[in-house]
């Protein structure tokens, strides 16, 4: 929406969807660059492929639904979904995996519910959950971070792996892919090793840094910076990430204090996997998040709670997508029960409030 | 009651009032067992037989059951029929019986069967009631098979896998492999695939209905004008 104002003292508020989406995309650049630095060409190839698939699925659905092309295609929302999803997929994911993830995100997650603004679930997370449930093996094809000791594939080799599924001569899947720190931590903790043992381990030790995993602290730090800029610009509401990170910190800190050898410290929890990306870019999706102030605190804290529970006791190494979808389901209820009172109206007029009537 | 319109009963059961697509009844077995064509067909046929048998019995006793106790009586009849079918399958289709498991006894709780007994068989004569049960059952079984085929094709890349469970040893080679070395889309086999699949089938039905509706006036209008002129 663009509100044109007639006379000079006013500035034109620019709050259209495409500007918001563009700023969110811009804020993702530092974190994305760090990811590409540590995890190689696969990141950029995934993003390009995801964007192409997103735009074509969007076009196809707009055509089938007989909606105007230009306003919907230029709102950048499909591109944002594609980029978020591409960041979540493993770098050496085969091309068809990205195609299935992105097209189901746009078609099933967004357009079948009525398009942008009507989708109850975050489309990117719907796409991610569909592929992680369907293709658990392919979803493990993460590459080792680009630091001393690990070899990485060149651009052409990466293209070949993604599009032809052929591994360069003399290499095996085990030599070009590696479990993520979160995954390793979970597996090794399951084998009764203590966190200290895992850090000292001669095979798995080098992938951990003093903060979290090698490379991951930079990626999460830069997403955090981008997210703070978005919050400062008032494009996202700070309460959702604050609730999410606060709850995750609270839980992980309590458990780590209780038993530091089998529960990872809060720094590891906060700077591993896609936490900052989830807190600032995924959970804050204006369509699928709660919209009231108290609702947003609860919404964020709920996601943080489920992430911790799934990471610690679940069967998947990370639980961001499931946590976001679970809380997406509760958003309408949260909005209903946390509706603020409008000035001039009595509490009793609001459905969610059961305050006792004052005795008359 | 010679004016019973059997075409109308068939149309209603198979399409316009389809148990699975329009009434959305009996979704629990529909969503749970349609992982393959054969599972869908097995449960579809069991439900079909239950519907026909219970409709026949309810229709026969409709004048002797007092309205106050009719529902418990109907449930008893349905439960007896389902138990008979369960024991029969246990005897002759043991492998299929094991695959379908709890969903055979659960046919009792399929609301569509009680709904037909209450809404149709308890008010109509034997033959129309039997016909109603048959057509409703066919409509339900058709959706089960379609959903089973869809999920099996997408999820496993085959059709008619494990057909020997139902048709005996001659059917061991009936499996049609659609895609060689298919790695499988696990989602289609899991419960979400059933919901998405059913949603897509309902959408397809609505699209077809809308197409038919658009075509209707063109055909009806000249016929009507001829009749009036």
Same domain as A200, residue A157: no
Neighbours of B172 (CB within 10 A): 11
Tally A–B CB contacts below 8 A: 18
Element (H, E) at B176: strand B176-177
- Interchain pair A135, B190: CB under 8 A: no
Task: Please give the DSSP secondary-structure letter assigned to residue B103.
Answer: G
| CB-count burial class (<10 Å; 0-12, 13-18, 19+) for A157 | middle
Same domain as A322, residue A215: yes
Neighbours of A287 (CB within 10 A): 18
Cβ density class A170-195: b for 16+ within 10 Å, e for less: eeeeeebbbbbbbbbbbebbeeebeb
Same domain as A197, residue A151: no
pLDDT for the residue numbered A244 = 95
**Residue B19 · residue B55 · CB < 8 Å:** no
Length in residues, chain B: 229
Same domain as A196, residue A142: no
**Residue A252 · residue A264 · CB < 8 Å:** yes
Dihedral sign of CA atoms A253, A258, A260, A264 in order: negative
Domain boundary residue, one of A149, A177, A205: A177
Is residue A353 assigned to a domain?
Answer: no
pLDDT for the residue numbered A12 = 58
Same domain as A312, residue A190: yes
A130 touches chain B (CB under 8 A): yes
Same domain as A172, residue A134: yes
* Residue of A134, A165, A321 to mutate when probing chain B, most B C-beta within 10 A: A134
Residues of B with CB under 8 A from a CB of A: 183-188, 190, 192, 196, 199
Domain boundary residue, one of A143, A177, A211: A177
Same domain as A273, residue A211: yes
Same domain as A325, residue A209: yes
Beta-strand relationship, B158-159 and B176-177 = antiparallel
Q: What residues are paired with A213 via a beta bridge?
A: A208
- Interchain pair B186, A134: CB under 8 A: yes
- Interchain pair B187, A133: CB under 8 A: yes
To the nearest 10°, the Cα dihedral for B47, B50, B56, B59?
-90
Same domain as A170, residue A185: no
pLDDT > 70 fraction of chain A, expressed in percent and rounded? 92
Domain boundary residue, one of A158, A177, A196: A177
Chain A positions in Cβ-Cβ contact with residue B183 (cut-off 8 Å): 135
Residue with more model confidence, A99 or A204? A99
Report the distance separating Cα A28 and Cα A282, nearest Å. Answer: 11
Nearest chain B residue to A127, by CA = B187
* Residue of B179, B185, B197, B202 to mutate when probing chain A, most A C-beta within 10 A: B185
Nearest chain A residue to B199, by CA = A112
- Interchain pair B187, A108: CB under 8 A: no
Chain A positions in Cβ-Cβ contact with residue B186 (cut-off 8 Å): 133-136
Q: What is the pTM of this model?
A: 0.83
Chain A positions in Cβ-Cβ contact with residue B181 (cut-off 8 Å): none
Distance from CA of B111 to the nearest CA of A (A): 28
Those residues whose C-beta lies under 8 Å from the C-beta of residue B25, and which sit 6 or more positions away, are B19, B110, B111, B112, B115
What is the span of the domain harbouring residue A267? 181-340
pLDDT per residue as tens, chain B (229 positions): 456 788 888 888 888 888 888 888 878 878 888 888 888 888 899 999 999 999 999 999 988 888 889 889 999 999 999 999 999 989 988 888 888 888 888 888 888 888 888 888 888 888 999 999 999 999 999 999 999 999 988 888 888 777 777 777 777 777 777 777 777 788 888 888 888 889 899 989 988 988 888 887 655 544 444 444 3
- Tell me the domain boundaries of chain B: 7-228
Cβ density class A9-34: b for 16+ within 10 Å, e for less: eeeeeeeebeebbebbbebbebbbeb
Chain B positions in Cβ-Cβ contact with residue A108 (cut-off 8 Å): 196
- Interchain pair B196, A135: CB under 8 A: no
Same domain as A210, residue A168: no
A179 touches chain B (CB under 8 A): no
Number of structural domains in chain A: 2
Structure tokens, B153 = 């094709």
* Mean predicted lDDT score pLDDT of chain A: 86
Q: What are phi and psi of A290, to 5 degrees?
A: -70, 155
Is residue A8 assigned to a domain?
Answer: no
Residue with more model confidence, B109 or A125? A125
**Residue A345 · residue A353 · CB < 8 Å:** no
Same domain as A218, residue A170: no
Element (H, E) at B158: strand B158-159
- Interchain pair A130, B186: CB under 8 A: no
Same domain as A130, residue A83: yes
């Amino acid at each position: 929406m663009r509100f044109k104002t007639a006379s000079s003292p006013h500035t034109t508020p620019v709050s259209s969807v495409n500007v918001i989406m563009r700023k969110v995309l811009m804020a993702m650049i530092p974190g994305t660059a760090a990811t590409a630095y540590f995890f190689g060409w696969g990141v950029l190839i995934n993003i390009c492929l995801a964007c192409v698939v997103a735009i074509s699925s969007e076009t196809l659905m707009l055509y089938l639904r007989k909606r105007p092309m230009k306003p919907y295609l230029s709102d950048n929302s499909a591109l944002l979904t594609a980029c978020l999803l591409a960041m979540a997929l493993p770098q050496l994911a085969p091309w068809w995996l990205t195609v299935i993830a992105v097209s189901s995100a746009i078609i099933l997650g967004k357009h079948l519910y009525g398009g942008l603004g009507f989708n109850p679930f975050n489309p990117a997370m719907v796409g991610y959950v569909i592929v992680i449930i369907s293709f658990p093996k392919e979803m493990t094809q993460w590459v080792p971070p680009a630091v001393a000791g690990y070899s990485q594939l060149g651009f052409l080799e990466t293209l070949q792996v993604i599009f032809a599924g052929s591994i360069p001569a003399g290499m095996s899947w085990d030599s070009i892919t590696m479990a993520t720190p979160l995954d390793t931590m979970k597996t090794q903790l399951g084998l009764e090793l203590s966190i200290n043992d895992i850090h000292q381990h001669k095979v798995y030790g080098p992938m951990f840094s003093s903060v979290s995993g090698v490379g991951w602290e930079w990626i999460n730090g830069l997403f955090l910076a981008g997210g703070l800029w978005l919050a400062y610009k008032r494009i996202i509401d700070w309460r959702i990430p604050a609730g999410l990170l606060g709850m995750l910190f609270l839980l992980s800190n309590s458990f780590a204090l209780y038993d530091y050898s089998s529960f990872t410290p809060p720094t590891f929890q906060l700077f591993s996997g896609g936490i900052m990306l989830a807190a600032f870019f995924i959970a804050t999706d204006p369509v699928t998040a709660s919209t009231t102030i108290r609702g947003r605190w609860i919404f964020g804290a709920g996601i943080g709670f489920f992430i911790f529970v799934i990471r610690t006791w679940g069967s998947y190494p990370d639980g961001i997508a499931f946590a976001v979808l679970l809380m997406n389901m509760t958003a309408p209820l949260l909005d209903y029960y946390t509706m603020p009172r409008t000035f001039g109206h009595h509490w009793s007029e609001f459905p969610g409030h059961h305050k006792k009537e004052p005795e008359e | 009651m010679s004016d019973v319109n059997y075409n109308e009963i068939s149309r209603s059961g198979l399409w316009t009032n389809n148990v699975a697509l329009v009434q959305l009844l009996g979704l629990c077995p529909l969503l749970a067992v349609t992982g393959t064509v054969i599972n869908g067909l097995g449960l579809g046929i069991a439900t079909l037989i239950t519907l026909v048998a219970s409709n026949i019995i309810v229709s026969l006793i409709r004048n002797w059951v007092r309205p106050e106790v009719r529902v418990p009586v109907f449930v008893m009849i349905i439960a007896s029929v389902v138990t008979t079918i369960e024991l029969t399958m246990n005897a002759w289709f043991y492998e299929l019986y094991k695959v379908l498991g709890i969903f055979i006894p659960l046919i009792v709780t399929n609301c569509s069967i009680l709904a037909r007994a209450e809404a149709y068989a308890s008010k109509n004569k034997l033959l129309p009631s039997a016909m109603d049960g048959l057509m409703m059952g066919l409509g339900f079984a058709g959706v089960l098979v379609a959903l089973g085929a869809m999920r099996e094709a997408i999820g496993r890349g085959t059709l008619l896998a494990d057909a020997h469970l139902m048709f005996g040893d001659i059917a061991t080679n009936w499996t049609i492999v659609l895609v060689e070395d298919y790695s499988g889309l696990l989602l289609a086999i899991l419960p979400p695939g059933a919901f998405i699949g059913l949603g897509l089938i309902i959408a397809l039905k609505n699209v077809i209905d809308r197409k038919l509706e658009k075509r209707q006036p063109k055909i009806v209008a000249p016929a009507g004008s001829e009749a009036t002129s």
